[in-house]
Chains A and B, each alone.
Chain A
Amino acid sequence: MTVLAQPASDTVRTVDLAWRHLARQRRLYSILGFGGLALALVGSLIFADESNAGHFVDRLPHLFDFLSWLIPHDWMDVPRALFDLPTPADNGTLEYNFPDGRVELGAGFYLPEYFYLMLITINVAMVSTIIGFTGGLLLCFLAARNMMPSFLVRSVVRRVMEVLRAFPEIVIAGLFAAVLSIGPVAAIIAVGLHTIGALGKLYFEVIENIDMKPDEGLKAVGANWIERVRFGALPQVMPNFVSYAMLRLEINVRASTIIGAVGGGGIGEELKLSISRGFGPKTIALIALLLTTIIIVDQISAYVRRKLVGDAAFLIHG
C-alpha cells in the first residue's frame, strides 16, 4: 500500500481507490456478519439459559459432580458388570445386581446382558439399513431426472422421500410402540422409514450423475425400462449405493441407540436408566461397550467403502 501512496498515474489512482473501496466494503460486511452471528449466539445462550431447569452459572461448579458417582470404588466392577459376574459389593440393589440379566444359552453358558442388548441395537441398525437400502433402491430410479421422464412421478416420489426423511423418528417409533407394544420392532420401523428417505435422496443424485452411454446403447437395441435400469444404470451406481448404505449403517447404530433410549429397547434404554440413576460401574461398562462397537462398525464401514469406491467415499456428501 505504501507503494501506491503516491500513484503514478490517474489509472493507477482509480484502481487504487476502487480497491480501497472494495476492501472497506468487504471488511464492513465481515464485521456485520460476525457481529450478527455473535449477537445471535449470545441471544440464543441467554434464551437457553433462562428456559433451562438449572442455570449455567449456578450449575457450572457441579459440572464434574458426575465423577463422584461415575468413578467406581472398585475398578474390577466394570468388567464384572460387562460380563455379568457376581461382585463382592453386591448389596441387593439394582446398582450391583450384575448376574441378574444373564441370557442363558444352555449347558452353563450365558450371554452377558449388555452384549445381548448391544446385539439388539446392532440388529435394529442392520435390519433398518437393509430396509432403507431396498426401499431407496426401488424408489430412486423413479426420482432421477435421466431415468424417469415423467415430471409428475418424479416429484411425487421426491416429496415422499422428503417427508420420510424429515418425519421425526420418535413419532413413528411412538406410534408403532402403541401398536406393537414397546420394543425393538417399533424402532426398526422408525429408523428404516427414515433411512429409505435419506438413502433415496443420495441415490437419485448418484443416478443423475451417471454416464448415459450404456443406457443409450440399451435403448438402441430395444431394451425396456427395467432392463435399462438393470444393465445400464445399476452396474454403474451399485458401488456407490453400497458405500452410502455402509455410511448409513454407522449413523443407524447411533440412531437406534437413541431411539432405544426413548423406549425402543436395546442398549440405549439401559444406558439412559444407568446414567439417570447414577450407577457408576454399569455406566462405564455400557459406554465402553457402545464406544467399542461404534468404532468397530465405523472401521468396517470405512474399509468396505474404501474397497468399493476408493478415497472418494470420504469426501463429505460428495
Chain B
Amino acid sequence: MTDMTLTLEQRYPAVFKQSVLKRFAPLIALVAVVLYLFYAVWFFALPSVISGGKWDRLGDYMQQWIAYDINAEYRLDGPTIVGKYPRFSVLGADPHPDWLVPREGGYTIELGGAGQSVTFTKTAATLTNAGQSVDLDLTGAEVRVLTQDLPSWFVVKSGEAIADMGFVGDVRVSPDRVKFRKRAFGWPNFLFDINSPFFGKSAGEVTSLLVSGPDLVPGTSNVALAANNIWFNAQWQHGDVWTKLLQTIVMAFAGTLIGAIVSFPLAFFAARNIMPNKPVNQIIKRLFDFFRSVDMLIWALFFTRAFGPGPLAGIGAIALTETGTLGKLYSEGLENIDDKQREGIASTGAGVITTQRYGVLPQVLPVMISQTLYQWESNTRSASIIGAVGAGGIGLKLWESMRTNSNWSNVFYMVLLILAVVFIFDNISNALRTRLIGKVQH
C-alpha cells in the first residue's frame, strides 16, 4: 500500500506538491464568504429585522392570494336584526348566502360549517369552534361570558368577545352587534362582478342565456353584454390587466427589435476585422459599453420624464440597453468569423456591401438571431419589473395593487399571467433557437 502511494507520488508530483495557496484556496474562499456573511448580518441588522417582522402577515397575505374575505356585521340594537354588508362586498348588497341560517329570533353564521359558527339572537350568542362552545349573555352593557372553561381561541378585549377560528375567519361580539370576517378559498366574481346582470347565476344559466335567452339589456346581444361585463369587471379589471400585459409584451418585443436594428450596422463598424480603423472601433465599442452600463433603470427613469409614464418609456429604455448588449455580442460574433469566405467574395471584385452580405452574414446570422431571441426572452422578464418605476406595462399595476396590501388575489392573478407569458415566450424562443442553431447550445 505504501509502495503504491510512493510510486503514485513519484509519478505525479504536481498533484501531491501543490503550493499552499492553491491547496487551501477553496478553504480560504469559504472562510472569506462566511466572514463576509457575518458582516452582512451585522450590516443589515438582520436579527432585529427578522424578529421585528410581522410574520403573521406573510401567511395572511399568502392566503389572500387564493382566498377572499367577507366582512359584515349584524346590528342587534334596532327593532329587528339587520345585516350590513359593505357596498363593494363580493356578495352584492343584500345577500342570502347558504351559510347564513335563520333561527328563532336570530341567525346562525357558519364560518366553516356547523362546527365553526356563531348563533345569536338579540339577547344571547353562542360561539362554536374546535368542538367547544362559549355562551354569551348580551343583555347588559357589556358582554357577559357564561361558560366556565374558556378555550384558547376565545378572548374578551375591551368589552368585546373575540373568537379567532383560524383560517375560516373570526367573530367579534358586543351587546349591540355581531361582526365577522369569513374567509373562503376561491376567486369570487372572477367573470361577473356584482353590477353585472349575470352576477350570481350558475354556469348553466349563463350558458343558456348566452345561447338562447332573451336580451337582458335591450339592443345588446347577451354575448356582447357578457364580454363587456367581463372586460370591465370592476373587481378584477380584466380589460386593464390584459392591456397592461400586452404593453409589457410590446415593450420587450419592440425594444429588443429596435435595439437589434440599431446595433446591427454599428456592430460592423465596431468589429476590428471588418472595419480596420482603430479609433472608429474603439469609439463604437465604448458607446456600446456606455449604453449597457448606464442600465435599463436609469434609461427608464429618463424616458419616463421625457415621454410620461407608459410603454414608450419602456421601449426606449430597453432599446438603448439592448443596443449596447446586442452591439457587444454582435461585434464579438463578427470578430470570430472565418475570414476566408469574406476574402473569397472580395477577390471576385464584389463591392463592400455585397462582400458583407455573402461573405460575412451567412456565418453570423444564425448566432445573431439566436442571441437576439435570448435577449428578447430575458427582456420579457425585465419589462415587467421596470414597469414599476413608471415605464408602463403590468409592473406598475402590480406595484400599485401591492402597495395597498389589500388586493393580493389580484396580484396573484397578474403574477400567474406574467408566469404564463414568460413560459410561453421562453418556449417560442427556445423552439426558434433550436431550429436555427441546433440543440447544441442552450
Contacts and interface: CB of A to CB of B under 8 A. Distances in A.
5 nearest interchain CB pairs?
A: A52-B310, A53-B308, A54-B308, A174-B402, A48-B311
B435 interface: no
Contacts of B246: 47
Contact of A166 (B289, B304, B419): B419
22 contacts: A41-B254, A47-B246, A48-B312, A52-B309, A52-B312, A123-B40, A167-B419, A169-B385, A170-B385, A171-B411, A174-B398, A174-B403, A175-B61, A178-B54, A178-B61, A180-B50, A238-B26, A254-B295, A272-B389, A275-B298, A275-B302, A290-B298
A276 interface: yes
B52 interface: yes
B175 interface: no
Interface string B296-317: 1110011011111111111100
B66 to A, nearest CB: 14
A298 B308 contact: no
Contact of A183 (B49, B62, B254, B392): B49
A171 B65 CA distance: 12
B442 A205 contact: yes
A188 B44 contact: yes
A318 B329 CA distance: 13
How many interface residues does chain B have, given as a range?
Answer: 35 or more
Interface class of chain B by DSSP: helix
Contact of A123 (B43, B309, B389): B43
B253 A179 contact: no
Interface of B: 26, 33, 36-37, 40, 43-44, 46, 49-50, 52-55, 57-58, 61-62, 243, 246-247, 250-251, 253-254, 257-258, 289, 293-298, 301-302, 304-315, 329, 332, 371, 374, 381, 384-386, 388-389, 392, 395, 398-399, 402-403, 405, 411, 415, 418-419, 422-423, 441-442
Interface class of chain A by DSSP: helix
Given A53-B308, A163-B419, A179-B55, A262 B399 contact: yes
Contacts of B306: 54, 59, 62-63, 65-66
Nearest to B325: A316
B395 A170 contact: yes
A37 B243 CA distance: 21
Interface residues of A, number: 65
Contacts of B55: 179
A126 interface: yes
B155 to A, nearest CB: 24
A202 to B, nearest CB: 9
Given A163-B419, A291-B294, A174 B399 contact: yes
Interface of A: 37, 40-41, 44-45, 47-49, 51-54, 56, 59, 62-63, 65-66, 123, 126-127, 130, 162-163, 166-171, 174-176, 178-181, 183-185, 188, 205, 238, 254, 257-259, 261-262, 268, 271-272, 275-276, 278, 287, 290-291, 294-295, 298, 314, 316-318
Given A40-B253, A168-B384, A185-B46, 18 more contacts: A37-B257, A48-B250, A48-B254, A48-B315, A51-B247, A54-B308, A62-B306, A127-B37, A130-B33, A130-B37, A170-B398, A174-B402, A175-B58, A180-B50, A257-B297, A258-B296, A261-B301, A271-B301
Contact of A171 (B37, B49, B304, B402): B402
A271 B301 CA distance: 9
Contacts of B305: 65-66, 275-276, 278
A45 B402 contact: no
Nearest to A42: B254
Given A52-B313, A123-B43, A258-B385, A44 B250 contact: yes
